[in-house]
Structure 1
Amino acid sequence: MNGFEKRTQEKKNKVLEAAFHLINAKGGIDSITMDDIAQNSNVGKTTIFKYFGSKENLIHEVFKYFLNQMGETAQKIMSENRPFEETLIAMSQNKIHYLEKINKQFYLELMNFFTSKDDEGLSLMMQQYTDTSFGLMLDLFHRGRKEGKVDLKYSDEFLLVYFQALVEGISSPHIYPLILPYTAQWTELMIKGIAPGK
């Protein structure tokens, strides 16, 4: 990437970050304008249109940007090859951290974009994100089995549903501020639940 491309990408990222924060601060897509985004990113409105074409395309890119950041952080955690418990705690904290950044409206609009917009690219990206996320969790559970921390009687499918149910439950807006200081204990309790019986 040359200097011009790097500066262009930095500007695009500033626009995406500004739009992301505005959507979450103001309560949704309909409550923000391109003028708001230009003002908050310090990037001209004409330049924003040049980069993204329309507000809808920009919002599309904001959702992709958010999912990419969450996925890249999770992959980085997995690549550190820490023991099962440490990795599970870090993965849980990562998911909570990203869910903390968004309000309920952002999540609903994200899901609406994936389900109601006829956008094969975005649907494909959501499917890839889900597949990657499940793949990482399966790798983690396999690591846990090898370390003797996960009972062999639990299937991959059950472990994925179990973990997803717990994380989505604690990501509820009135729960996650309460659980955050206890992430290590919560994860320990979860590990004890799937650990081999004595």
Structure 2
Amino acid sequence: MADDPFALFDAWFAEAKAAEPNDAEAMALATASADGFPSVRMVLLKGHGPDGFDFYTNAQSSKGRDLAENAHAALLFHWKSLRRQVRVEGFVILLPDEVADAYFATRGRDSQIGAWASDQSRPLDDRDLFERRFEEMKRRFEGQEVPRPPYWRGYRVVPAGIEFWTDRAHRLHERRLFTQTDSGWTEGLLYP
């Protein structure tokens, strides 16, 4: 293997943070329900390393429900300014409560309160209702730390495969695929 996929990701991610005008940590998260109906949305990478790629969300949201039914997901980082993308496919595990608690404590207070006020992904009759709930939660937690809601969880995508794509002239792109095996990572190339 020429490179460790996580070292390569670290290098590309560092370049993206320096080059991308907004949200280098933005990634598309694709999930599917138990019956295979797919859904994709943008989330933010909140941690990564040799064990996988971490994000946080409401477990009662559509993505949380999908992951409870079908613990497989795909991620896509697209760094347009660098003309690169990284695709990750694998299975998803829940992060321990203490890890979710620690991350939740680093969020801005309004973001913490918003996690309590929002029934994420559920129908909302009008925006005023959400804003009233937000103000109610502000009063509820006034003068105290905002604890992590029990339904707000951390997730890790544990990769089975990681593809590094580089744009090349005339659509002759370079595609490097790292695949997890019982003995570690193997690397190969894909036709563009």
Alignment TM-score, normalising by the size of structure 1: 0.28
- Higher strand proportion (structure 1 or 2): 2
- Higher helix proportion (structure 1 or 2): 1
